[in-house]
């Protein structure tokens, strides 16, 4: 009887060890997005992620298929809000005249969720140049 009781205690302890190990492993996997507080940090992160977006295979495939002739640049103002989303997109200057392409880029950027957050009630306006090759 004592052996059975000791085995139950051992199994319960082992279960707790596995549970806690799993929780800590999961927490390190589910790393939270960093909170950026400086405008320069936000600008750098936005530039990096926007460059990656416009070099991604999905974007290049769609551009080649529907907008193959489009080349040039766009200077845009974007407002980034607390959760890392783009709340507004405004074209400031561009040598691209294809309205459908400009709307496609606008929709693509507005769907973007950046890999960072901002402090509560914080909003940054970022001017970004997008080069399309």
Domain match, 54 and 98 both: yes
81/120 same-domain check: yes
| Per-residue tokens: 71 | 């080349």
Q: pLDDT tens digits for 78-101?
A: 999 988 899 999 999 999 999 999
Q: What is the Cα–Cα distance from 121 to 123, expressed in whole angstroms?
A: 7
Spell out a b/e string for 47-60, using b for 16 or more CB atoms within 10 Å of the CB, else e: eebbeebbeeeebe
Confidence of residue 28 (pLDDT cuts 50, 70, 90): very low
Q: Does 21 share its domain with 79?
A: no
Chain-centroid distance of CA 4 in Å reads 53
* Residues 51 and 76 both lie in one domain: yes
Give the model's confidence band at 29: pLDDT under 50 very low, under 70 low, under 90 confident, else very high. Answer: very low
The token duo for 87 is: 């709340």
One domain, residues 81 and 110: yes
- Triad 112, 113, 114: Cα angle to 5°: 110
Range of the domain at 47: 39-132
Q: How many domains does the chain have?
A: 2
Does 101 lie in the same domain as 51? yes
pTM: 0.71
Exposed/middle/buried for residue 80 (C-beta within 10 Å: 0-12, 13-18, 19+): buried
To the nearest whole percent, how much of the chain has pLDDT over 90?
Answer: 59
């Amino acid at each position: 009887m004592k052996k059975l009781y000791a085995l139950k205690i051992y199994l319960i302890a082992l279960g707790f060890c596995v549970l806690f190990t799993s929780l800590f492993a999961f927490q390190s996997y589910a790393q939270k997005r960093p909170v950026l507080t400086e405008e320069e940090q936000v600008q750098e992160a936005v530039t990096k992620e926007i460059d990656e977006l416009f070099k991604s295979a999905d974007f290049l495939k769609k551009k080649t298929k529907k907008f193959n002739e489009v080349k040039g640049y766009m200077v845009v103002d974007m407002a980034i809000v607390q959760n890392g989303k783009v709340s507004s997109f405004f074209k400031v200057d561009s040598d691209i005249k294809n309205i459908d392409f400009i709307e496609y880029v606008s929709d693509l950027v507005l769907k973007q969720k950046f890999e960072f957050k901002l402090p509560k009630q914080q909003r940054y306006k970022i001017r970004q140049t997008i080069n399309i090759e």
